[in-house]
Protein backbone atom coordinates (compact mmCIF):
# COMPACT_ATOMS: atom_id res chain seq x y z
CA UNK A 1 0.00 0.00 0.00
CA UNK A 2 2.78 2.42 0.90
CA UNK A 3 4.56 1.72 -2.38
CA UNK A 4 1.38 2.58 -4.29
CA UNK A 5 1.06 5.89 -2.44
CA UNK A 6 4.77 6.72 -2.62
CA UNK A 7 4.91 7.34 -6.38
CA UNK A 8 2.17 10.04 -6.53
CA UNK A 9 3.61 11.62 -3.37
CA UNK A 10 7.02 11.81 -5.06
CA UNK A 11 5.42 13.43 -8.11
CA UNK A 12 3.60 15.93 -5.89
CA UNK A 13 6.83 16.83 -4.09
CA UNK A 14 8.62 17.43 -7.41
CA UNK A 15 5.80 19.65 -8.67
CA UNK A 16 5.65 21.57 -5.38
CA UNK A 17 9.43 22.10 -5.32
CA UNK A 18 9.35 23.41 -8.88
CA UNK A 19 6.38 25.68 -8.15
CA UNK A 20 8.01 27.23 -5.07
CA UNK A 21 11.55 27.58 -6.42
CA UNK A 22 11.22 27.64 -10.24
CA UNK A 23 14.38 25.54 -9.97
CA UNK A 24 16.56 24.96 -13.01
CA UNK A 25 19.51 22.68 -13.50
CA UNK A 26 22.81 24.00 -14.84
CA UNK A 27 24.88 21.20 -16.38
CA UNK A 28 28.52 21.38 -17.46
CA UNK A 29 29.37 21.78 -21.15
CA UNK A 30 29.67 18.02 -21.62
CA UNK A 31 26.11 17.55 -20.38
CA UNK A 32 24.59 15.02 -18.01
CA UNK A 33 27.20 12.46 -16.89
CA UNK A 34 26.74 8.82 -17.87
CA UNK A 35 26.97 6.00 -15.38
CA UNK A 36 26.71 5.86 -11.63
CA UNK A 37 27.42 9.06 -9.72
CA UNK A 38 27.88 10.32 -6.20
CA UNK A 39 26.40 13.82 -6.31
CA UNK A 40 27.98 15.77 -3.45
CA UNK A 41 26.40 19.10 -2.57
CA UNK A 42 26.42 22.01 -0.15
CA UNK A 43 23.97 21.67 2.73
CA UNK A 44 21.94 24.42 4.40
CA UNK A 45 18.37 23.07 4.44
CA UNK A 46 16.38 19.86 4.97
CA UNK A 47 15.10 20.43 1.44
CA UNK A 48 18.51 20.26 -0.24
CA UNK A 49 18.33 16.69 -1.46
CA UNK A 50 14.76 17.24 -2.68
CA UNK A 51 15.93 20.03 -4.98
CA UNK A 52 18.82 17.97 -6.37
CA UNK A 53 16.52 14.96 -6.84
CA UNK A 54 13.91 17.16 -8.52
CA UNK A 55 16.20 18.47 -11.27
CA UNK A 56 17.75 15.13 -12.17
CA UNK A 57 16.44 13.69 -15.45
CA UNK A 58 13.71 11.09 -14.74
CA UNK A 59 15.87 8.18 -15.93
CA UNK A 60 18.54 9.16 -13.38
CA UNK A 61 16.13 10.18 -10.64
CA UNK A 62 14.74 6.64 -10.50
CA UNK A 63 18.04 5.27 -9.21
CA UNK A 64 19.28 8.32 -7.25
CA UNK A 65 19.10 7.85 -3.48
CA UNK A 66 19.80 10.58 -0.92
CA UNK A 67 22.11 9.73 1.97
CA UNK A 68 20.49 10.97 5.17
CA UNK A 69 20.60 10.64 8.94
CA UNK A 70 18.62 7.68 10.24
CA UNK A 71 17.86 9.46 13.51
CA UNK A 72 15.92 12.21 11.72
CA UNK A 73 14.16 10.14 9.06
CA UNK A 74 13.07 7.37 11.42
CA UNK A 75 11.78 9.56 14.24
CA UNK A 76 8.14 9.55 13.11
CA UNK A 77 5.86 7.58 10.81
CA UNK A 78 5.59 10.42 8.27
CA UNK A 79 9.37 10.88 8.23
CA UNK A 80 9.84 7.13 7.72
CA UNK A 81 7.34 7.11 4.87
CA UNK A 82 8.99 10.05 3.09
CA UNK A 83 12.56 8.89 3.73
CA UNK A 84 12.16 5.18 3.05
CA UNK A 85 9.21 4.85 0.70
CA UNK A 86 9.16 8.09 -1.28
CA UNK A 87 12.89 8.78 -1.65
CA UNK A 88 14.35 5.34 -0.85
CA UNK A 89 17.00 7.13 1.21
CA UNK A 90 20.21 5.44 2.30
CA UNK A 91 19.90 5.94 6.04
CA UNK A 92 23.11 6.39 8.01
CA UNK A 93 23.44 6.07 11.77
CA UNK A 94 25.29 9.22 12.84
CA UNK A 95 25.88 8.29 16.49
CA UNK A 96 29.18 6.39 16.47
CA UNK A 97 28.49 4.75 19.83
CA UNK A 98 25.13 3.32 18.71
CA UNK A 99 26.01 2.31 15.15
CA UNK A 100 25.24 -1.22 14.02
CA UNK A 101 26.58 -0.77 10.45
CA UNK A 102 29.57 1.00 8.91
CA UNK A 103 28.23 4.02 6.94
CA UNK A 104 30.77 3.52 4.12
CA UNK A 105 29.72 -0.12 3.73
CA UNK A 106 26.06 0.91 3.66
CA UNK A 107 26.70 3.47 0.90
CA UNK A 108 28.98 1.11 -1.03
CA UNK A 109 26.30 -1.58 -0.92
CA UNK A 110 23.80 0.88 -2.39
CA UNK A 111 26.26 1.68 -5.20
CA UNK A 112 26.82 -2.03 -5.82
CA UNK A 113 23.06 -2.43 -6.21
CA UNK A 114 23.10 0.09 -9.07
CA UNK A 115 22.06 3.25 -7.27
CA UNK A 116 23.57 6.71 -7.53
CA UNK A 117 23.86 8.73 -4.32
CA UNK A 118 23.18 12.30 -3.22
CA UNK A 119 25.24 13.23 -0.18
CA UNK A 120 26.45 16.23 1.77
CA UNK A 121 30.14 16.04 2.72
CA UNK A 122 29.87 18.89 5.24
CA UNK A 123 28.08 16.35 7.42
CA UNK A 124 25.53 18.79 8.79
CA UNK A 125 23.53 21.83 7.68
CA UNK A 126 25.63 24.96 7.34
CA UNK A 127 23.99 27.60 9.53
CA UNK A 128 27.09 29.80 9.74
CA UNK A 129 28.30 32.75 7.66
CA UNK A 130 30.91 30.53 6.00
CA UNK A 131 30.24 29.69 2.36
CA UNK A 132 31.07 26.04 2.95
CA UNK A 133 32.00 24.05 6.04
CA UNK A 134 35.05 21.74 6.08
CA UNK A 135 34.36 18.33 4.55
CA UNK A 136 34.11 15.19 6.64
CA UNK A 137 36.19 12.21 5.56
CA UNK A 138 33.29 10.04 4.35
CA UNK A 139 33.54 11.15 0.72
CA UNK A 140 37.21 10.15 0.63
CA UNK A 141 36.55 6.71 2.11
CA UNK A 142 33.65 6.11 -0.28
CA UNK A 143 35.77 7.18 -3.26
CA UNK A 144 38.52 4.84 -2.07
CA UNK A 145 36.06 1.95 -1.75
CA UNK A 146 34.45 2.53 -5.17
CA UNK A 147 37.01 4.51 -7.25
CA UNK A 148 35.22 4.02 -10.59
CA UNK A 149 32.04 5.84 -9.55
CA UNK A 150 31.80 9.44 -10.81
CA UNK A 151 32.00 12.16 -8.14
CA UNK A 152 29.90 15.12 -9.26
CA UNK A 153 29.97 18.44 -7.34
CA UNK A 154 26.56 20.14 -7.03
CA UNK A 155 25.91 23.68 -5.82
CA UNK A 156 22.38 24.47 -4.58
CA UNK A 157 21.74 28.20 -4.81
CA UNK A 158 19.15 30.22 -2.85
CA UNK A 159 17.30 27.37 -1.12
CA UNK A 160 18.23 28.88 2.25
CA UNK A 161 16.08 31.87 1.23
CA UNK A 162 13.13 29.60 0.51
CA UNK A 163 13.35 28.02 3.95
CA UNK A 164 15.09 30.52 6.26
CA UNK A 165 16.03 29.33 9.72
CA UNK A 166 12.98 29.25 11.98
CA UNK A 167 10.44 29.43 9.13
CA UNK A 168 7.86 26.67 8.62
CA UNK A 169 6.16 27.90 5.44
CA UNK A 170 8.38 28.06 2.31
CA UNK A 171 8.91 31.48 0.73
CA UNK A 172 8.79 31.42 -3.10
CA UNK A 173 12.25 32.22 -4.46
CA UNK A 174 14.07 31.26 -7.65
CA UNK A 175 16.72 28.58 -7.15
CA UNK A 176 19.28 26.83 -9.31
CA UNK A 177 21.26 23.63 -9.02
CA UNK A 178 24.65 23.73 -10.76
CA UNK A 179 26.45 20.49 -11.58
CA UNK A 180 30.19 20.22 -12.17
CA UNK A 181 32.14 17.76 -14.28
CA UNK A 182 32.69 14.22 -12.96
CA UNK A 183 35.78 13.71 -10.82
CA UNK A 184 37.63 10.73 -9.32
CA UNK A 185 40.15 9.95 -6.64
CA UNK A 186 43.63 10.27 -8.11
CA UNK A 187 46.16 7.46 -7.67
CA UNK A 188 48.09 8.00 -4.46
CA UNK A 189 46.11 11.12 -3.55
CA UNK A 190 46.03 11.82 0.19
CA UNK A 191 42.79 12.31 2.08
CA UNK A 192 43.63 15.94 2.78
CA UNK A 193 44.48 16.75 -0.85
CA UNK A 194 41.41 14.91 -2.12
CA UNK A 195 39.00 16.67 0.22
CA UNK A 196 40.53 20.05 -0.59
CA UNK A 197 40.20 19.37 -4.33
CA UNK A 198 36.55 18.27 -3.95
CA UNK A 199 35.75 21.27 -1.76
CA UNK A 200 37.36 23.68 -4.24
CA UNK A 201 35.40 22.09 -7.10
CA UNK A 202 32.19 22.67 -5.18
CA UNK A 203 33.10 26.26 -4.30
CA UNK A 204 33.86 26.93 -7.96
CA UNK A 205 30.14 26.41 -8.68
CA UNK A 206 29.02 28.93 -6.05
CA UNK A 207 27.68 32.19 -7.59
CA UNK A 208 29.82 34.20 -5.16
CA UNK A 209 32.88 32.67 -6.77
CA UNK A 210 31.68 32.60 -10.37
CA UNK A 211 30.28 36.13 -10.35
CA UNK A 212 26.75 34.91 -11.14
CA UNK A 213 24.38 36.97 -9.01
CA UNK A 214 21.11 35.31 -9.96
Which region holds residue 167: left if phi is over 0, alpha if psi is between -120 and 50, else beta? beta
pLDDT score of 129: 84
- Distance between CA atoms of 64 and 7, rounded to whole angstroms? 14
- Distance between CA atoms of 58 and 144, rounded to whole angstroms? 29
pLDDT score of 56: 94
Any alpha helices (H) in 81-157, and if so which ranges?
Answer: 103-112, 138-145
Provide CB contacts within 8 A for 40, sequence distance 6+: 119, 120, 121, 139, 151, 152, 153, 154, 198, 202
Q: What is the CATH number of domain 2-209?
A: 3.40.1130.10
Q: What is the pTM of this model?
A: 0.89
What is the residue-level pLDDT of the chain in tens, covering all 214 positions? 677 788 899 889 889 888 888 899 999 999 999 899 999 999 987 778 889 999 999 899 989 999 988 888 788 888 889 888 899 999 998 877 778 889 999 999 999 999 999 999 998 888 888 899 999 999 999 999 999 999 999 999 976 666 555 555 566 778 899 999 999 999 999 999 999 999 999 999 998 765 444 4
pLDDT score of 120: 95
pLDDT score of 211: 47
- Distance between CA atoms of 75 and 91, rounded to whole angstroms? 12
| Domain residue extents for the chain | 2-209
Amino acid sequence: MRAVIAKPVATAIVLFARAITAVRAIWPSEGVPDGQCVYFANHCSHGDFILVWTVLPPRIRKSARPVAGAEYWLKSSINRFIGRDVFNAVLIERDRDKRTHDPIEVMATALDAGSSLILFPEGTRNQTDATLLPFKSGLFHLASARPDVHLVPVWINNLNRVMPKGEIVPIPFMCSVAFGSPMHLAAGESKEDFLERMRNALLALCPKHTGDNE
